[in-house]
């Protein structure tokens, strides 16, 4: 049976290669025919258009050098003929070829040249194409603001031209940019808009691609049921149209979702389905990735022999392809397998190779620009500036027209009557004086408005500082903490004056409760949420008398959803918090804890132990009907407990403008766990300050250490 399947697979691959060769041969014949005709063709607009078609066909089959030369020839002839439409098309071709060469500055230069020409001749369809290509160039440089501006400009023209396929493409481009920026709501909004258009066009390939993109967004939002639903929809369409290459990708995406949902059997099943298709299409890159994922699935199922087998297969193929990402992932999987199997030498070797591949990947990455998170503010500010500038320009033009008209009358009157000219000059002087008085009056009004704005801003800042005093009063006091904790430190750095992060504690019925929490948002909205969260936690413990941490968070979640149900959003009540609630039993030296989306660490004998969290927030979510889980941890003397929000790990900085990340945080704690807690606090604060450098703080920061 295996032999028959092997023969069948070889036949399919052979047929595919024959088809590919035939296709390339037919393309080559067609380009040869065009080249032959062009040798004797007259230099006119027809020749320019033929050269551009030839350049595009050569580009499609990978003949970049020849495609580049023909595009340049088309450009030179167009300049001689003053054929601006052809010149713009040639610049567009050159820009696209430069993009494939990897020369982004040259690509951008040529696309901007094409844009200028298309503006001169008012080529609307061409302008939409140029704006889209310029957006792609900026996107490849991670200049997201410029990319968005050009994608929006392209979308506007496509909407005017009713170019529905182009509109769908623009929505997809916008969705990809917003996803890279971490603005998942805007990314989802644009991909859903693209889906609506391609459904109207009955574009099966486009519909499947949109479902796939939407599935990726929901996966990033940790909404795994919705992610699975959309990936399954994409898979169904790809099966219908026989798109094996993308069907394999869908199986792989489905497997990843199942893996994150803890359904390792389904993850394994879908990984093998993806593997069969990748083998059928000869996609070695896809095979390598699936080998690594299968190894991880077998490891999670505690089938270590199979995990080792597929990890080795993946590693061998990764080395053959020279894929550093694959080498990194496979060595990471094998290190875990060998560690469980107590093959310490092999585990150490795999770990060294993992570190080497990881470091090489970091060295090869291009440094990306740090993007401000308040993108809406940037656009609003820029649009306001553009609006003011346009209004000023309109006023200037009106004044200029008026002056020209008056000057013409003055000239004609001077030729006929010198006396009337003199009267006119006196009149102009009076008008100038009047205008001067108007300008001075307007200037005073502007200065007055500025004073009012400054006064309002001071009132707002005073209110925020007062809110900070209120919030600080509700945080756990040093007196309470010193009385109930043997030794501790707190690093607390709000992004703005007030914070969405908070730490809170209380003692009730001889039980000491402590919370480390990250409320939705930061600044004033985050502070409001933190006050609401503290209120409901206090209600659960003090008024309701709840003692178990899971019951307390269940009650708090219910109260939050009820309170925010009518908050004005479409869904209603989606705000809340991620947190850890610990209950200390000093007599038995244990803690009971419940964690919502936030794990915590214990360092014992210089080893770091990670304690898990429920993958759901205290607030509305797809899992808000499930109860939270309570865990009990037996502590030992000398243990250090670390709880934290994600603000420090998410901070951009360092030499490459990257996030600090959890791994680096764990290494920092392990390296300094032997020091007194106050020295550890100083080192954490210094590490944060050094990493951030001159960049803006992106989120509230809260890190707590407690020594038993």
For residue 30, name the pLDDT band (cuts at 50, 70, 90): low
User: Has residue 9 got a pLDDT over 50?
Assistant: no
Side by side, which strands form the sheet with 607-611?
487-493, 701-707, 640-644, 600-604, 607-611
Predicted confidence (pLDDT) at residue 6 exceeds the cutoff of 70? no
Query: How high is the pLDDT of residue 13?
Result: 33
pLDDT confidence of residue 403: 67
* Assigned token pair, 675: 């020091």
pLDDT at 48 over 80: yes
Q: Which of 441, 470, 499 is the last residue in one of the domains?
A: 470
Q: Do 461 and 497 belong together in one domain?
A: no
Of 385 and 153, the structure prediction assigns the larger pLDDT to 153
User: Measured between alpha carbons, how far is 138 from 146 in angstroms, rounded to an integer?
Assistant: 6
The rounded distance, in Å, linking the Cα atoms of 498 and 406 is 59
If asked whether residues 317 and 420 sit together in one domain, one would say: no
> Residue 322's pLDDT is what?
83
Confidence of residue 552 (pLDDT cuts 50, 70, 90): very high
Q: Which among 470, 489, 517 is the end of a domain?
A: 470
What is the rounded distance in angstroms from the CA atom of residue 144 to the CA atom of residue 151?
10
Q: Does some domain include residue 269?
A: no
520 and 565 both lie in a single domain? yes
Q: Which of 55-59, 384-388, 514-518, 602-606 has the lowest mean pLDDT?
A: 384-388
Whether residue 589 has pLDDT greater than 60? yes
Q: Is residue 8 part of a domain?
A: no
- C-alpha dist (Å) from residue 196 to 161, 183, 210, 227, 228: 18, 21, 9, 18, 19
Residue 575 is predicted with a pLDDT of 84
Taking alpha carbons only, the member of 573, 576, 623 closest to residue 260 is: 623
Instruction: Please report the DSSP string for 477-512 in residue order.
Output: PHHHHHHH-SEEEEEEE-SSSS-SEEEEEEEETTEE
What whole-number distance in Å separates Cα of residue 428 and Cα of residue 445? 25
Distances (CA, A) of 559 to 352, 490, 527, 578, 627: 50, 29, 18, 15, 14
State the total domains in the chain.
4
pLDDT at 25: 40
Contacts (Cβ under 8 Å, ≥6 apart) of 52: 70, 71, 74, 86, 89, 90, 93
* Residues with Cβ within 8 Å of residue 5, at least 6 apart in sequence: none
**Averaged pLDDT, 257-275:** 92
Q: Is residue 231 part of a domain?
A: no
Pick from 248-262, 307-321, 461-475: least confident: 461-475
Cα–Cα distance for residue pair 246/205, rounded to 1 Å = 10
461 shares its domain with 495: no
- The CA distances from residue 275 to 9, 240, 329, in Å, are 13, 19, 17
- CATH number of the domain within which 662 lies: 3.60.40.10
Tell me what pLDDT residue 24 has. Answer: 39
- Give the pLDDT band of residue 595 (cuts 50, 70, 90): very high
What share of the chain has pLDDT > 70, as a percent? 83
Domain containing 384: what range? Answer: 375-470
Res 414: pLDDT: 62
pLDDT value at residue 178: 86
pLDDT at res. 236: 93
Query: Which value, to the nearest 10 degrees, does the dihedral of the CA atoms of residues 312, 313, 316, 319 take?
Result: -100
Mean pLDDT of the chain: 83
529 shares a domain with 497: yes
Range 68-88 average pLDDT: 93
- 677 located within any domain: yes
DSSP readout, 123-161? -HHHHHHHHHHHHHHHHHTT-HHHHHHHHHHHHHHHHHH
274 or 398, higher pLDDT: 274
Residue 454: pLDDT above 80? no
Q: How many CB atoms lie within 10 A of CB 312?
A: 16
The pTM (predicted TM-score) of the whole model is: 0.46
pLDDT of residue 31 exceeding 80, the answer is no
Q: Are residues 505 and 626 in the same domain?
A: yes
In this predicted model, what pLDDT tens digit does every residue of 217-251 receive, in sequence order? 999 989 999 999 999 999 999 999 888 888 988 99
Do residues 417 and 320 both lie within one domain? no
Confidence of residue 4 (pLDDT cuts 50, 70, 90): very low
Asked if residue 20 is part of any domain, the answer here is no
Give dist(CA 452, CA 362) in Å, integer.
51
Alpha-carbon distance 213 to 635, whole Å? 45
- pLDDT for 418 equals 64
Nearest to 596 by CA among 183, 222, 218: 222
Does residue 57 lie within any of the structural domains? yes
Q: Looking at 3-7, 84-88, 429-433, 615-619, which range is the least confident one?
A: 3-7
Whose tokens are 């070797």? That residue is 349
pLDDT digits (tens, 9 = 90+) for 636-693: 999 999 999 999 999 999 998 899 999 999 999 999 999 999 999 999 999 999 999 9
Nearest to 194 by CA among 218, 215, 213: 213
Tell me, yes or no, whether 526 and 612 share the same domain: yes
Whether the per-residue pLDDT at 368 is higher than 50: the answer is: no
CATH code: domain of residue 55: 1.25.40.10
Q: What is the CATH number of the domain that holds 349?
A: 1.25.40
End position of a domain, from candidates 310, 341, 365:
365
Q: Do 342 and 380 fall into the same domain? A: no
Least confident of 144-148, 153-157, 673-677: 144-148
With bands split at pLDDT 50, 70 and 90, how would you rate the model's confidence at 377?
Answer: very low
Clarify whether residues 506 and 591 are in a common domain.
yes
With a cut of 70, say whether residue 27 has pLDDT above it. Answer: no
Q: Is residue 215 part of a domain?
A: no
Q: Does one domain contain both 357 and 379?
A: no
Do 697 and 655 sit in the same domain of this protein? Answer: yes
Structure tokens at 692: 């951030």
The reply to whether 337 falls in a domain is yes
């Amino acid at each position: 049976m295996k032999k028959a399947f092997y023969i069948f697979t070889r036949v399919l691959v052979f047929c595919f290669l024959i088809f590919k060769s035939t296709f390339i041969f037919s393309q080559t014949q067609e380009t040869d025919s065009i080249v032959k005709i062009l040798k004797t063709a007259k230099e006119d607009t027809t020749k320019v258009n033929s050269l551009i078609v030839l350049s595009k066909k050569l580009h499609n089959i990978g003949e970049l050098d020849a495609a580049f030369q023909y595009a340049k020839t088309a450009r030179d002839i167009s300049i001689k003929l003053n054929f601006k439409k052809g010149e713009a098309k040639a610049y567009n071709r050159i820009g696209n070829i430069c993009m494939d060469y990897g020369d982004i500055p040259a690509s951008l230069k040529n696309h901007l040249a094409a844009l200028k020409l298309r503006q001169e001749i008012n080529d609307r369809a061409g302008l939409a194409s140029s704006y889209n290509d310029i957006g792609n160039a900026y996107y490849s440089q991670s200049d997201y603001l410029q990319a968005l501006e050009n994608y929006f400009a392209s979308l506007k023209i496509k909407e005017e031209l009713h170019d529905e396929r182009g509109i769908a493409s623009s929505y997809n481009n916008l969705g990809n940019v917003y996803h890279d920026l971490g603005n998942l709501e805007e990314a989802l909004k644009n991909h859903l808009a693209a889906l609506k258009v391609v459904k109207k066009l009955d574009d099966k390939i486009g519909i499947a691609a949109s479902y796939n993109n939407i599935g990726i967004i929901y996966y990033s939002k940790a909404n795994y049921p919705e992610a699975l639903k959309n990936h399954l929809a994409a898979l169904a369409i790809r099966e219908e149209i026989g798109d094996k290459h993308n069907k394999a990708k869908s199986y792989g995406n489905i497997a990843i979702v199942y893996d994150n949902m803890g359904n390792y059997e389904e993850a394994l099943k879908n990984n093998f389905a993806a593997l069969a298709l990748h083998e059928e299409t000869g996609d070695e890159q896809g095979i390598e990735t699936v080998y690594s994922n299968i190894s991880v699935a077998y490891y999670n199922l505690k089938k270590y022999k199979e995990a080792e087998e597929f990890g080795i297969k993946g590693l061998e193929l990764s080395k053959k392809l020279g894929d550093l990402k694959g080498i990194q992932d496979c060595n990471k999987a094998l290190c875990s397998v060998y560690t469980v199997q107590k093959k310490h030498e092999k585990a150490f070797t795999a770990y060294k190779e993992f570190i080497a591949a990881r470091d090489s990947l970091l060295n090869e990455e291009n440094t990306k620009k740090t993007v401000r998170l308040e993108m809406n503010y940037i656009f609003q500010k820029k649009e306001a500036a553009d609006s003011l500038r346009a209004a000023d320009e309109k006023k200037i033009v009106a004044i200029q027209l008026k002056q020209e008209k008056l000057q013409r009358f003055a000239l004609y009157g001077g030729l006929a009557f010198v006396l009337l000219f003199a009267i006119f000059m006196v009149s102009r002087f009076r008008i100038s004086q009047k205008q001067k008085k108007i300008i001075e009056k307007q200037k005073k009004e502007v200065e007055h408005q500025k004073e009012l704005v400054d006064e309002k801003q001071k009132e707002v800042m005073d209110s925020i500082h007062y809110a900070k005093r209120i919030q600080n009063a509700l945080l756990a006091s040093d007196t309470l903490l010193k009385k109930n904790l043997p030794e501790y430190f707190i690093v607390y750095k709000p992004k703005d004056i007030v914070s969405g992060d908070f730490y809170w504690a209380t003692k009730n019925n001889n039980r000491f409760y402590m919370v480390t929490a990250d409320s939705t948002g930061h600044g004033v909205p985050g502070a409001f949420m933190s006050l609401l969260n503290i209120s409901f936690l206090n209600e659960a413990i003090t008024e309701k008398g709840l003692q178990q941490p899971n019951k307390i968070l269940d009650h708090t979640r219910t109260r939050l959803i009820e309170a925010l149900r009518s908050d004005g959003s479409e869904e209603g009540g989606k705000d809340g918090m991620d947190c850890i609630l610990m209950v200390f039993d000093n007599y038995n030296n244990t803690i009971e804890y419940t964690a919502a989306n936030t794990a915590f660490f214990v360092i014992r004998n210089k080893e770091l132990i990670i304690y898990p969290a429920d993958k759901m927030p205290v607030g509305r979510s797809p899992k808000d009907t499930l109860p939270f889980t309570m865990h009990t941890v037996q502590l030992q003397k000398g243990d250090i407990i670390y709880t934290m929000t994600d603000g420090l790990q998410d901070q951009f900085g360092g030499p490459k403008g990257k996030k600090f990340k959890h791994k680096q945080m764990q290494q920092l704690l392990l390296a300094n766990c032997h020091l007194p807690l106050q020295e550890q606090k100083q080192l954490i604060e210094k590490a944060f300050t050094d990493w951030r450098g001159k960049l803006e703080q992106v989120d509230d920061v809260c890190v707590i250490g407690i020594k038993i």
